[in-house]
Chain A
C-alpha cells in the first residue's frame, strides 16, 4: 500500500489522517524500543501526504513524522539532522533510532522517523528583538551546517546553482500573470494586475541582470558542503526559544544553498507583516545574523540583490494560475494595492543600506 495525498473537507477534523496511515504509524512504531502511551496528530500536509504526531512514551515525549518527499530526498534531510546533532551539537531535535539502530523506517513508500519532542518551546516575540533572536539562531544554524556530506544513497538536494533559473522563472511568470489578466479581463482584479505587472517584471529583470554581474558565479564555486544548508521554511514557528537557547525544528526541506536566502525570506516576510520597509529593522536583523555567521561584502551584495526581487508580489500572485475566475477578485485587488504600497517603501530602504558593507569593509 502506497501513501497518497488525501482530501480534507469541512466535515472532517482539522488534522484528519486516513485510517490506513494511522495503521501504518502503529506498525512503524513497533520498530522502536518505546512503549507509546498516546499518539496525537499535531499537523498534516494532506495535499502532499505528510503528517506529524506527538507521542507520549515511557522515555518521554517524542515526535513521529511521516515525510512526504521521495525517500532518497528524505535521506538527505535525515542525514543533515543527524550531522547537526552528532557532529555539531546544534539545537535541533535528536533522532531516535529503531531497535535495529536505523534512523528511519520505510513504509508506504515513504520514510518515517522518530525524534525527541523538545519541551518547552516558545515562539519569540513578534517585534525587532524577536526578529534578531531568530536571525542569530539562523546564522548559527547555517554555520553549523557547513561540512555536511549526505549519506550514501541520498539525493543531493541543492539550490546553490539554481539562482539564475529561479530569477528567470520569476520574470517569466510575470508574463503568465499578464496573459491571465488579459484572458480573464472581466474579473475585478485584472485591470489592476495589468497595470502593475510591468513594473514588477522590470524589477525582476533588473535583479536578474545584477545577479549575473555579481560575484554569484564565483561564490558558488566554493561548492555544496562549504556553503552548507538552508532551512527553506524558517520563521517564527520553526525557530523557537527553549530552556537553553533557540531551537530549530522541521528540517525536512533543508538543501544546499547560499545561506542568505533564508535570511532574505525572513526579512522580506517580516517587512510584509509590518506593511512597510524599515531600515532599522533590516539593518539590525542582518547584523544579528552576521554575528553568528559572518557575511562578507560579496555575499551582502547578493543579499541586496535578492531583496530587490519582487518577492512578495510574486509569492502572493502566483496562485492566480490555478483558478483565475476565483482568484482575481476584489480582495486580490486590495492585496495588490497593499503590495504596491509596501513595495514603494522598499526602495529608499535598500538605497540607504546598500553601502553598509562597503564603508566598513568586512565587519
Chain B
C-alpha cells in the first residue's frame, strides 16, 4: 500500500529532540518500508530538510508547533497527494479534517496517551473519529481501556501493541561494550562500591521521585551501601527550576546516602546510566500510559520496581522481572518492595536476566512493526463503507495467534503469596502478550 504516517506537531522525526512517540516511529520504520511505500509527515526542525528520502522512506516536514497551524499544513499536503492508508499518531483531532480531503483513504490511529479525554476532544468529534478510523492501536491495555470506558463503540477497533527498545544500545552493565563505561561513570561519581538505584524521568509530581527520596532514609538503615542516581533535566539550572524540583532538591540534600543528579543527559547517552545502575525504580504517581523506561531498564538487565499506575504494571511479572508497588503514594510501600528486592541478590540477578530476555524477544522493534503491519493488512482487506466498516479485535487476534510462532521467553511464572490476587489479571494480560 501507499501509506502516509502522520506524526504530532510537537517534535520532529527522526527523534533529534527525543520524545516517546518519535522514538516509537523511528524504531518501527526500518521494518515497515519493505512491505509498503511509506511517507512520514511531521513537523519541521532547523537541523532537518523539509523533504528527503532516507533508506526508502520519504519524509515531508511542514510548519507546526501549534496544532491548528500543523493541521492546516497536513490537510494541504493530504489534499495534494493520494494514499491508500493514513496512519495518525496520537492526534485524533486530525482525523476529521483529513477525512474531508481524503474520502477514500483508510485511516488508522496510534494512541500513546489520553488525547481522547473530554477536555482534549469533544464528544461528538470523538465519536465521529472512532467511526471514521478502521483501527486504533494503543501502547498499553490501560490506554485502550480508557478509550473504551469513554467510548464503548471503540471496542471492536482497539488493539494493544506494546512498544519496543533497541537492545543493542541498551545493554547490561556486565556486557563487554558497557563494562568500562559502567566502571568509569561509577568511579567518576564516587559510587563504585555502591548498590546504585536509578530513577530516570521527568522531575514532576506525576513521576513522583520524591516518594523514592522519602523511602531512602529507612532503606539506608537496612542497607549500608546505597546510592541514588537521578537522571532528569533541570536539576541544577535556576532558570526553569520548578517548585517541585526545588522541593526534591531540598529533600535530597538531607539524605544520608550519596545522590548523583545528572541533569540533562542527551538521549543518545542515557543507556550509560542504565548500565551503571543495579536497580531501576519507576515512581509514577499518575495513571501513566506506560513509560518507555521500563523497556530500557529491561534491556539493561535491571530488576524493576514500578508502580501500579496506568499501563506500567502490564510489563512486569511480579518476582520475575520486577515488583509492583501497589500504593505508590506511600513511601513505606517503596521501602518494603525495595527492601525485598535488595535483600536477595539472586533474585535481583534473575529479574535482570529475565528482563533482558523479554527486551530481546518480546520488546523488539521488529515485533512492534510486525504487529502494526498485521493491523494494516487486516484494514487493507476490509471494505471501506460510507459508514466505515469496523475491524474486530477478535479477528485480528485470531490472525496473530495463528501466524506468529510463540517462543517461551520466561520460565513458568511463580507468583508470591501476597500479591497473587491482584496480579492474576495482570498476569493474564502478560501471558497473552508474550504468546501473541
Q: How far is the CB of A47 from chain B (nearest CB, A)?
A: 8
Cβ proximity bits B195-210 to A, threshold 8 Å, 1 near / 0 not: 0000000000100001
Q: How far is the CB of A326 from chain B (nearest CB, A)?
A: 11
* Interface assignment of A333: CB less than 8 Å from any CB of chain B: no
Q: How far is the CB of B160 from chain A (nearest CB, A)?
A: 28
* Interface assignment of A72: CB less than 8 Å from any CB of chain B: yes
**Is there contact, CB below 8 Å, between A5 and B239?**
yes
Q: Among the listed A47, A318, A324, which residue makes an inter-chain contact with B243, where contact means beta carbons less than 8 Å apart?
A: A318
Total interface residues in chain B, CB < 8 Å:
16
Q: How far is the CA of A100 from the CA of B352 in the complex (A)?
A: 64
* Interface assignment of B267: CB less than 8 Å from any CB of chain A: no
**Is there contact, CB below 8 Å, between A161 and B250?**
no
**Is there contact, CB below 8 Å, between A184 and B65?**
no
**Is there contact, CB below 8 Å, between B69 and A184?**
no
Q: Which residues of A contact B66 (CB under 8 A)?
A: 72, 153-155
Total interface residues in chain A, CB < 8 Å:
22
**Is there contact, CB below 8 Å, between B69 and A152?**
yes
Q: How far is the CA of A94 from the CA of B41 in the complex (A)?
A: 41
* Interface assignment of B319: CB less than 8 Å from any CB of chain A: no
* Interface assignment of B254: CB less than 8 Å from any CB of chain A: yes
* Interface assignment of B151: CB less than 8 Å from any CB of chain A: no
* Interface assignment of B236: CB less than 8 Å from any CB of chain A: no
**Is there contact, CB below 8 Å, between B239 and A324?**
no
Q: How far is the CA of A321 from the CA of B205 in the complex (A)?
A: 14
Known: A161-B119, A172-B205. A180 touches B243 (CB 8 A): no
Q: Which residues of A contact B246 (CB under 8 A)?
A: 321-322
* Interface assignment of A323: CB less than 8 Å from any CB of chain B: yes
* Interface assignment of A176: CB less than 8 Å from any CB of chain B: yes
**Is there contact, CB below 8 Å, between B243 and A321?**
yes
**Is there contact, CB below 8 Å, between B69 and A183?**
no
Q: How far is the CA of A5 from the CA of B238 in the complex (A)?
A: 10
Q: How far is the CA of A323 from the CA of B254 in the complex (A)?
A: 12
Q: How far is the CA of A318 from the CA of B246 in the complex (A)?
A: 11
Q: How far is the CA of A180 from the CA of B247 in the complex (A)?
A: 8
**Is there contact, CB below 8 Å, between B247 and A184?**
no
**Is there contact, CB below 8 Å, between A180 and B65?**
no
* Interface assignment of A173: CB less than 8 Å from any CB of chain B: yes
Query: Which residues of chain B from 200 to 242 have a CB within 8 Å of any chain A CB?
Result: 205, 210, 214, 239
* Interface assignment of B149: CB less than 8 Å from any CB of chain A: no
**Is there contact, CB below 8 Å, between A321 and B247?**
yes
Q: How far is the CB of A140 from chain B (nearest CB, A)?
A: 29
* Interface assignment of B420: CB less than 8 Å from any CB of chain A: no
* Interface assignment of A209: CB less than 8 Å from any CB of chain B: no
Chain B residues close to A by CB (< 8 Å): 65-66, 68-69, 119, 205, 210, 214, 239, 243-244, 246-247, 250-251, 254
Chain A residues close to B by CB (< 8 Å): 4-5, 47, 72, 152-155, 161, 169, 172-173, 176, 179-180, 183-184, 318, 321-324
